[in-house]
Chain A
Amino acid sequence: MNEHAPEALLEQYLGVATETEADRCLAVLLEDVATPLVRRIVLSSVRDLQESDDLVADTLLDLLRRLRDLRGDVVHPIQDLQRYIVTCAYNRCHERMRDRYPALTRLRNQLRYLFAHDRELASWRDGEGELVCGLREWAGRKVASTDAAERVRLAATSDPAAENRAQVTLLVHELLHALRAPLPLGVLTATIARGIGVEHLRVERPLTNFEQADVPSPEETLAHRMSLRQLWDDVRKLAWKQRVALLLNLRDVQGRECLTLLPLTRTATIAEIAAVVGMPAEKFAALWNRLPLSDAEIAELLDATPRQVIKFRRLARERLRRLAKKQHDQNLAPEIDSSQSGITLVTRR
């Protein structure tokens, strides 16, 4: 295998003994393999230069975190590194588009649904994994160019709310019959969006850096934050598999490992955490220095698949958020103090 091939670089990174060597390998992986791929994908989806730079940086940061997690894994889940990077980049782009262009995202979803269910239409993946849409009998046919799609004049009426689903369906059929070739979903969505006037509908938020883009409103933040004490109390209410999946890979909204905060804040001792994940303290202590564990490692402990581990963890987070929100709402809810002669509103803080 060529020593500069992506898979060889990955093997080298996973195999080196010291963290200094690992960091050097990781830098090469990110600069030589990931950056060009991520930049190409991001620029194909996001035209705004500032936004695309933010997105490239964010995707690389996400990859860095994921690749760091792989160190120490005996079996790592990446079979094809380039495809893995492409998938990460696509997912990040899609998340950003969902945030910034909700109308466009809903239109895209509607189109995906249409192509999956209309008896005349179909969608399939091309060689690079991109979703392509066309008439059912066109599967495998060469896609039309973006320029060709832009030249088609669609007889649409402006419908910024994109509520007129019948019109969207009609425009899709007109477009395809005019082109006589399939289109990538992204190009199809952009073309229909121009036709009905949702192309430029963007949620305006300050975007000086990526973190700001993900910051919810102050009220949402309050509702989503939970105290470590509350987190610890609520975690013990979860089902065992959810507790293990969550705690052994506990991360905050920025992706930082945070189980180790519990003893450092005297919220719980390591022995107490071991008891909650149902493990002898000595066995758990042997894992402590390697936290967070990968999904593959947690799957082995739970006798489950990595995919199931991800679902257990997501369910756990949803339940914790629900409990935190309930607590938050209760704290803010005015209560009637009937001991007073009149009715007094008391807001608990």
Chain B
Amino acid sequence: MSETTRDDETHLDEAALDRYRRRAADPAELLAADAHLATCDRCFAAVRVDVESLQLEETHLRYEELEAFVDDRAGAIDRELVAAHTTQCERCRRELTDLAAARDALRAQKPSPYEVRVSRIRT
């Protein structure tokens, strides 16, 4: 770590701060600089960013995951994922409910609707 000494304190110089900011420092320099920045307000002021909160990347459920879930074919991790996501995502929850209804309708359906229609036409 390159340092400058001022007022009886050791600080990071501009080049070291720049390497830290650009993520160009080698591991030893990085850890030393990071430890210094954690306690030195003066150096920290040169690199700090004003971000207080963030929203994480979001991934919705894929059709294949919904289908495996309603058919009871999903593994433990996938089931947990679907259950966790649908408690918080209304869109995926609706799609899941809708697909479960489609499954139920299909299971209740006998004989095929085309055969029913054809038989009606014939009679």
The residues of A with any CB-CB pair to B shorter than 8 Å are 95, 98-99, 102, 105-106, 109-110, 112-114, 116-120, 165-166, 169-170, 173-174, 177, 221, 224-228, 231, 250-253, 255, 258, 260-261, 263-266, 269-271, 281-282, 285-286, 288-289, 291, 308, 311, 314-315, 317-322, 325
Q: Mark B98-109, 1 if CB is under 8 A from A, else 0.
A: 110111011001
In the complex where A114-B102, A165-B101, A174-B114 touch, is A289 in contact with B23 (Cβ < 8 A)?
A: yes
Within 8 Å by CB of A288, from B30, B52, B99, lies B30
Within 8 Å by CB of A105, from B87, B95, B109, lies B95
A260 contacts B23, C-beta separation under 8 Å: yes
Give the A-B pair count, Cβ closer than 8 A: 167
Q: Mark B56-67, 1 if CB is under 8 A from A, else 0.
A: 111110010011
In the complex where A251-B56, A263-B37, A285-B27 touch, is A106 in contact with B49 (Cβ < 8 A)?
A: no
What chain A residues lie within 8 Å of B49 (beta carbons)? 261, 264-265
The residues of B with any CB-CB pair to A shorter than 8 Å are 23-25, 27-28, 30-31, 34-35, 37-38, 44, 47-60, 63, 66-67, 70, 77-78, 80-81, 84-85, 87-88, 91, 94-95, 98-99, 101-103, 105-106, 109, 112-114, 116-117
Identity of the chain A residue whose Cβ is nearest the Cβ of B88 in the assembled complex: A321
In the complex where A166-B105, A170-B117, A315-B84 touch, is A269 in contact with B34 (Cβ < 8 A)?
A: yes
A271 contacts B53, C-beta separation under 8 Å: no
B112 contacts A120, C-beta separation under 8 Å: yes
Majority SS at the chain B contact face: helix
Identity of the chain B residue whose Cβ is nearest the Cβ of A169 in the assembled complex: B113
A169 contacts B47, C-beta separation under 8 Å: no
Q: How far is the CB of B47 from chain A (nearest CB, A)?
A: 6
B91 contacts A253, C-beta separation under 8 Å: no
Within 8 Å by CB of A110, from B85, B98, B112, B117, lies B98
Majority SS at the chain A contact face: helix
The 10 closest A-B pairs by CB, nearest first: A173-B114, A285-B27, A318-B84, A165-B105, A170-B113, A289-B23, A253-B55, A270-B34, A251-B57, A110-B102
Within 8 Å by CB of B53, from A110, A113, A227, lies A227
B77 contacts A311, C-beta separation under 8 Å: yes
Question: What are 13 A-B contacts with C-beta separation under 8 Å?
Answer: A98-B60, A109-B99, A119-B112, A169-B112, A170-B114, A177-B114, A225-B55, A227-B52, A228-B52, A250-B56, A261-B49, A265-B48, A321-B88
